[in-house]
Amino acid sequence: MRRAFAAALLAPLLLGGAAAYPSPDDVLARAPANAWAALDPASTLYMDLPAGRVVILLAPGFAPKTVANIKQLVAARYFDNSSIVRSQDNYVVQWSQEDKAKKATNAKLKGTAEFERPIWPPNLVHLPDHDTYAPITGFDGDFAAGSDGKSEWLLHCYGSVGAGRDNAPDSGSGVELYAVTGQAPRQLDRNITLVGRVVQGMDLLSSLPRGGSAQGAYMGFYQSPSQYTQIKSIRLASELPPAQRLKLEYLKPGTPSFTAYVEARRNRRNDWFVHPAGAIDACNIPLSVRGAR
């Protein structure tokens, strides 16, 4: 399968009369309607900040128990008036509820170490390129994933969302979440539960003021609550009337358009590029999300 996919990537790809080597934008513009899939409103979170909305697609197929906890917390309005308490340069932002009563109520919520899962079914669309951290990488649904042929796990790419934990592997229940805002920290793969990825609004998170040594803080945590960014609320899209939901869809892995998109990213052949790379890391393929048409 991996060799066949590589051959498909390397073949000239004609989309609706386009040139043999279209740009990534050309591929997306010409992708037919059936190459796109709508985001599931039951697994889509809207995190509303003073500056705007961050949209997070959850991955219950990879972390079912932790995602169930997050949905429970959202339904209980746990994250209303919570805060972004950490912004570490080239790493992550992290948010939690600082209200002592809310924290105490959910302190015993059970965590689960959902770092990887058996391959079921084998939906991973392989990349042909070598990866430092995993024997195989590719895409499963709307998520970058790795595999050793037996198990499968999500990758810590830019925009990935995970459940913070203490030293105990099963201590991440979902009461504290983070999003990757720096260069992919892949050493965290299979060491912490990833629960989804940001599909819109990353600019609102990556541009937050940094905590850190300049303020005497530790690992990007802010020293004072006055530095926090308030989270007004987090809601599941399915909680809102259909007319109030954002109509978003993603390019489906495994389609000819997705194959062409990956190749256009692997080998940039417009006039500016002198040497097409001929390879790419899974985290350097931004999974495309657009407004439904």
HSE-up (13 A, CA, CB side) for residue 38: 9
| Distance of alpha carbon 42 from alpha carbon 95, whole angstroms | 22
Instruction: Tell whether the model's pLDDT for residue 166 goes beyond 50.
Output: yes
Instruction: Tell whether the model's pLDDT for residue 289 goes beyond 80.
Output: yes
| Distance of alpha carbon 134 from alpha carbon 224, whole angstroms | 39
Domains within the chain, CATH numbers bracketed: 39-255 (2.40.100.10)
Q: What is the mean pLDDT of residues 127-155?
A: 96
Instruction: Tell whether the model's pLDDT for residue 214 goes beyond 50.
Output: yes
| Distance of alpha carbon 287 from alpha carbon 270, whole angstroms | 21
Identify which has the larger pLDDT, 99 or 130. 130
| Distance of alpha carbon 177 from alpha carbon 29, whole angstroms | 34
Residue 177's φ and ψ, nearest 5 degrees, are -125, 160
Exposure string (b/e) for 171-187, b if CB count within 10 Å is 16 or more? Answer: ebbbbbbbbbbeebbbe
User: Which token pair is 55?
Assistant: 């949209």
Tens-place pLDDT, residues 175-190: 999 999 999 999 999 9
Contact (CB, 8 A) for 44 and 57: yes
Identify which has the larger pLDDT, 1 or 209. 209
| Distance of alpha carbon 64 from alpha carbon 68, whole angstroms | 6
Tens-place pLDDT, residues 112-140: 999 999 998 888 999 999 999 999 999 99
Average pLDDT, the chain: 90
Q: pLDDT over 90 for what percent of the chain?
A: 77
pTM over 0.85: yes
Sign of CA dihedral 223, 224, 226, 232: positive
